[in-house]
Amino acid sequence: MHPATEQNESDIDERIAGLLGRMTLAEKIGQMSQINGAAGSIPEQLRDAIAAGRVGSIINEVDPATVNELQRIALRESRLGIPLLIGRDVIHGFNTIFPIPLGQAATWNPGLVKDAAAIAAHEATACGINWALAPMLDIGRDPRWGRIAETFGEDPYLISVLGTAMTAGYQGDDLAQPGAIAACAKHYAGYGATEAGRDYNTTNIPENELRNVHLPPFEAAANAGIATFMAGFSDLNGIPCTGNGFLMNQVLRDEWAFDGFVVSDWESVTQLATHGFTADDRESAERAVNAGLDMEMASTSFIDQLESLIADGKVSERTIDTAVSRILHIKFALGLFDDTGAHARQQATESDALALAHQAARESIVLLKNDNGVLPLSAENIRSVAVIGPLADAPQEQLGTWVFDGDPTLSQTPLQAIQQLADRGVEVHFAQGVATTRSHTEDGFAAAVAAAAKADVAVLFIGEEAILSGEAHCRADITLPGNQAALVNAVAATSTPVVLVVMAGRPLVLENVLNKATAIFYAWHPGTMAGPAIADLLFGNESPSGKLPVTLPKAVGQVPIYYAQKNTGRPGIPDSPINIDSISEFGQFESAGFTSFHLDTGCTPRFGFGYGLSYTRFSYSDIQVSTHTVALGDTFEISADLTNEGDREADEIVQLYIRDLVGSVTRPVRELKGFRRVRLSPGERRRISFQLHTDDLAFYGADMQRRTETGAFRAWIGGNSAAEQGIDFTVTA
């Protein structure tokens, strides 16, 4: 799980065995129970339960004095002195809020993601938290789903890299070190494929796709030593994840040799009966624990039912002992038994946290459009700027979803950051335009139009408030909510150049405003330091470097749409929509043929995976492979020249894609296999190389065995998933 000497592991195992030998069955089951906190108080019933050894973990208690008292009761008043795990949804920051995970994914910067998680862990441990219920490793290919905000995007490889980076940030090199907390890989597994993008809905994923697409990030987390897993809410192919022995026993334990513990999601054990998978709480507890679930979150079916299930022979006490051993091992690894404060606590400095939040926000923002080079703005070239929109000065909204502990007083808004430029002679005209992103009135339009009319450029901050994304906040219509499109149209009618800054928890469909904007930034929900980061990019203090971690569709009807699609037997022809109003006969289909496309949108997205513009021009050339014939088991290299052809120093995210041209099961048209953030000076050229092993080309075939198949491959290196610089190679036996 984490580096430890054999002597330490032996000592821990011996101590766990000693505890198990002394524990009553009720105390063992207590370790498998997580109870919701009482918001800064300790009800007598909870105090008594902890003292009786009937609670193993508390979730959602962040008051330091209360946490200290909870731990004191567990350590000093319970018979065996077993400390508590204190869990919290530490998703993208704690007090200091970083971009939502989807925004962090747009940085394509694992080091930054790791450092942000470490800051969050330090801030959380200062409150006594020792268990972060993150990272989320679900594949996000449906922007209707509210929890796409919590994902690292649509690609298994990118999610694997960033998920293991976040895990390393939370857990550090040693869980017992000051500031480290246990991480939790969620939601295991397939949750992101929920039907219609509706939270908690059914998922049906063929095992081949499950193993090739949805499981790799979780396997990467297991291999990286993550402490815990969380079972998903949804059912997977008819078996709810909370009671799914294939996922927890066969794959996680037997195939991956994961030795941490698995916790349910909120009340998802008792919800097995709601699914219709079990008849009642008793059967739910039986099915869940026998399927490999170790701890129950919030509901109490384990506490209420397991003793009688063991007495009736439905559950073995050996199963209970195994689960409790896993839980105790994490508590020992965290050093909880040896720390009178229940964990070594360490607070990060505010200046370090804010500086990193600033960098993360800046690197997360994606430049989608920049007609006529209107950006960057320059204090020398413009005298005034209109700042317009409901998200221009909304300190809470810029934080995004899952920010229970975020401090909005730390937030620096775009309006505040841009107003600082007034000292450099730039006049700022502010008009909110609409009260919220969901407003349907035009009461503020006149002021917004007036502000734009007297400015050299209008910057509109539009998108979604934080409440419109996140858990149970799914949307069927993912266009701009409220009257924002009409606001954009009204401001654009002034003929003042319009720069849109879209702040949202998901990819939005922007077709009704796309042509009204001269430039577009996609800023996600950037967190505490949104304002300075956006101002940096608007005024050219830094060049934008963010790249899309998820596809932006033209219309919701294209969903799901993602770059790693299959070719089909009749692949669509890019940019081939047809005017459906004028169709009268089959002959009019000749331009697109009988291919896989939508009549009204074609088959391509508006902006593809990996896409993002810069203030300079990068070119790729001379792609090479170290050998055109690669033997199974060998390592080989693919490289290309990257040149900064512009006049600004900037970062480029170089991306490597592979296609297995013929497989025993059909393969995606492209798969991300590597990426690198590279900074080049104007005119600089650099050779960028990626090393691959033939194991990196492996996939699960029809027999559910993972192997690399011999045959023809093609590789591309470029700045997005539509990279044109390609080369062929062959893998041989």
- Of 495, 523, 538, the domain-final residue: 538
Q: Tell me if 424 is assigned to some domain.
A: yes
CA 731 to each of CA 156, 547, 660, 672, 695: distance values in angstroms, whole numbers, following the listed order: 23, 31, 10, 18, 11
- pTM confidence score: 0.96
pLDDT of residue 200: 97
Which residue, 733, 651, 729, 648, is CA-closest to 690? 729
Q: Tell me if 696 is assigned to some domain.
A: yes
SS3 for 287-319, per residue? HHHHCCCCEEECCCHHHHHHHHHHHCCCCCHHH
Exposure of 423 in the CB half-sphere (CA atoms within 13 A): 3
Q: Tell me if 645 is assigned to some domain.
A: yes
pLDDT of residue 698: 98
pLDDT of residue 5: 47
The question of whether 265 is a catalytic residue gets the answer yes
* Catalytic, out of 142, 265, 536, 660: 265
pLDDT of residue 3: 43
- Of 503, 538, 573, the domain-final residue: 538
Domain extent for 568: 562-604
362 shares its domain with 484: yes
Q: How far out from the chain centre does Cα 8 lie? A: 34
Is the previous residue joined to 120 through a cis bond, with omega within 30 degrees of 0?
no
pLDDT of residue 577: 72
369 shares its domain with 516: yes
Mean pLDDT by 10 residues, the chain (733 residues): 57 95 98 96 97 98 97 97 98 98 98 98 96 98 98 98 98 96 98 97 97 98 98 97 98 98 98 98 98 98 98 98 98 86 56 95 98 91 95 98 93 96 85 97 97 97 98 97 98 98 98 97 98 97 98 97 96 78 62 82 95 98 98 98 98 98 98 98 98 98 97 98 97 96
Any idea which residue has 């320059």 for tokens?
A: 378
For residue 662, the tally of other CB atoms under 10 A from its CB is 11
Do residues 373 and 445 make contact, with C-beta atoms less than 8 angstroms apart? no
CATH number of residue 723's parent domain: 2.60.40.10
At 684 the three-state DSSP class reads coil
Q: Tell me if 598 is assigned to some domain.
A: yes
Please state whether beta strands 85-88 and 57-59 pair in parallel, antiparallel, or not at all (unpaired). Answer: parallel
367 shares its domain with 500: yes
- CA quadruple 425, 431, 436, 439: dihedral sign: negative
CATH number of residue 370's parent domain: 3.40.50.1700
402 shares its domain with 511: yes
Q: Tell me if 251 is assigned to some domain.
A: no
For residue 527, the tally of other CB atoms under 10 A from its CB is 29
Count of domains for the chain: 3
390 shares its domain with 485: yes
